[in-house]
Amino acid sequence: MKIWNDTEINKSILFLVVIACFLSCKDNGINQFENYYNIYDDTDIIKGYFKRVSSVNESTRTDTVYRYNKRKELNNTRVEKYTFDNNTLKNQKGVTILSIKEKDSCISYTDINDNESESCYLGVYKIDTYNKKDVDSYKFNQKELIIDGVTKIQFFDDNFILIKEEFKGGSIDYYRIERTDNINGLKN
């Protein structure tokens, strides 16, 4: 006596494959997005680019940052890990590096390379970027607390993703970084 015929077995196998695909393809709670940036020198000439690929899972974010030269050739890659909650961003060591709890407040911290730094939240600002006007942002003054330390102004969106950064002082050449929609022709 045959309990199942070949057609029923094939239907059952197909059903199991569909269920397996559904379970493996369902949303795993991770959102991934890309941001592109132009890097300018003091004469407003583009001197490089970078792309930030961010993966966000609840309160953790992993950024893979690809830096390119002006010929759009990949120079280097680095991975940055963060956690965020209650209007703060913490580095992979759990140290708060940005906080928007109170305007005109500063925090001192040690970064992942053991450099002392200071981050001062200056408030909410509307800024213009290369291709957008009146972008809402959180403005910070960042300072490395070392001899000839770099001082820069940074603007971030609601997810603490960089919108714009401008060098203000220190021992390196002037630069400005601005987020843009896309950069065609980047070579990996």
Domain coordinates of the chain in residue numbers? Answer: 30-180
pTM score of the predicted model: 0.81
H or E element: which one contains 127?
strand 116-127
The residue with greater pLDDT, 14 or 53, is 53
Q: What DSSP state is assigned to residue 150?
A: -
Q: Does residue 15 surpass a pLDDT of 60? A: no
Exposure pattern of 60-77 as b/e (b: 16+ CB <10 Å)? Answer: ebbbebbebeeeeeeeee
pLDDT digits (tens, 9 = 90+) for 84-130: 988 999 999 999 999 998 999 999 999 888 889 999 999 999 998 87
Exposure on the CB side of residue 149, measured as CA atoms within 13 A: 13
Contact 96, 90 (CB under 8 A): yes
Neighbours of 119 (CB within 10 A): 19
Tokens of 147: 């001899």
Q: Does residue 21 surpass a pLDDT of 50? A: no
pLDDT digits (tens, 9 = 90+) for 146-158: 877 899 999 999 8
Closest CA to 110 of 87, 86, 92: 92
Percent of the chain scoring above 70 in pLDDT: 85
CATH number for region 30-180:
2.40.360.20
Q: Does residue 19 surpass a pLDDT of 50? A: no
The confidence score (pLDDT) of residue 18 equals: 38
The confidence score (pLDDT) of residue 174 equals: 94
